[in-house]
Amino acid sequence: MSTPSQLNQNELPQHVAIIMDGNGRWAKQQGKPRVWGHKKGADAVRRSVRFCRELGISALTLFAFSSENWQRPADEVSSLMQLFMLMLKSEVKNLHKNQVRLRVCGDLSAFDEALRKQIKAAEALTADNRALTLTIAANYGGRWDITHAARQLAQEVSAGRLAVDAIDEQRMAQYIQLADLPELDLLIRTGGDVRISNFLLWQAAYAELWFTDTLWPDFDQQVFAEAVAAFISRERRFGCTSEQVCALASRQSKGT
């Protein structure tokens, strides 16, 4: 059995997903409009990507915009779309430089043509990068994901390319979003709520869940390390501290 002093790559989660909650409440605490919280939340995204790169985590999936978020005030939705476009334009070159592959999953048909083109361009530019796969879930819902997969399977059956008896969990999984990524190991939710809000329902079947009261704009390396430490403790049945996780990240980033 491993010990905390022997903490290494094998104990780490390889696929982490985060429900980024609390931007609006953070902004309210600062006396700012909600969109200010979303803009500050972008800094937490950058920190999280950097932390995953340092640790060698291979996949990070972020819940940016759910299919239910269209019900928010129109001005907030508009601001979120503008911020999404701005982030794609301003961050993709840096992601590419750091060998991060960017993908967007969800029902993109609801977005305007300009945003869809920007998404496609960012995905194409970073397609061959292998250090980290960063997936942004936008206009995504877990029930939509499963329904979409079921519809694709039904089309295969209808076309005579697939027998009904051939449909099992493994076949279904091939049509679920993120099918080419490692199994989801760790699902984090910030902001204090203890639910997964229709996020990655299929993928999270055996994931470790970790909840924190920290609002998303305040999510930093220390809080992320606490989540990873909790995962390691649960999965490998030994104790470790967030300081050890940070130390490992530092060693990884220095190439030692």
Which residues are catalytic, by number?
Answer: 21, 69
121 HSE (CA, 13 A, CB side): 13
Angle, helices 74-97/34-55, rounded to nearest 10 degrees: 30
The radius of gyration of the chain's CA atoms, rounded to the nearest angstrom, is: 19
Ordered DSSP codes for 14-26? SEEEEE---HHHH
Rounded to whole angstroms, the Cα distance separating 210 from 189 reads 6
Kindly report the number of other CB atoms within 10 A of residue 39's CB atom: 17
